[in-house]
Amino acid sequence: MLSQAVQDAINAQINSEFCSSYSYLGMSVYCEQDQFLGCAKWLRLQSQEENSHAMRLYDFMIARGGKIVLQDIVAPPTDFDSIPDVFNRAQEQEQQVTEQIDSLYELAFKEKAFSALVELEWFIQEQVEEEKTAREIVHKFNLLKDDPASLVELDRILGERSNAEVA
């Protein structure tokens, strides 16, 4: 059985993952309305991926006999300064999630919740990938500045993301 402190922290992380999912959906709304349909698709898929992360923790808690406590999810912003601003915010969000996962791992270690440590190792590796991807996209937007043809091409490339890439 997981300690109450670990259960509370995992429940908080489940909420955070659902909030991230909802946040990516809000980002997708902005891109969709600005006719950056490739970016919108990429962000919708990212929303699905974050939802699957929440459900992975949910399933872990159930398997360990923990109690799931669902929490409120605040409506995300759907208005941004620009498409590059959307991806800057996505990168910041991933950095925050990394900090949360690291803190959760540290707590699980202190509490000797070894099964949680094993589960959280997957999340640590996933966050390395998530931050790298966000950083690369932000870098590309920074290189392109306001060149319309290049922005349209990057939008097309981001739109090539498939469901198979969703973890």
Domains and CATH numbers, the chain: 4-165 (1.20.1260.10)
User: Which residue's entry shows tokens 């190792």?
Assistant: 121
Instruction: Give, to the nearest 10 degrees, the angle between helix 83-110 and helix 4-33.
Output: 170
- pLDDT value at position 1? 84
Residue stretches of the chain with pLDDT short of 70? 166-167
pTM for the model stands at 0.94
Match 């270690």 to its residue by tokens.
109
Query: Angle formed by the axes of helices 148-158 and 37-63, to 10°?
Result: 30
Q: Tokens 């640590």 correspond to what residue?
A: 124
Nearest to 44 by CA among 31, 57, 58: 31
Please report the pLDDT score of residue 167 as a whole number: 64
Q: What is the pLDDT of residue 165?
A: 72
For residue 45, give both structure tokens.
Answer: 């898929």
pLDDT in tens, 28-47: 999 999 999 999 999 999 99
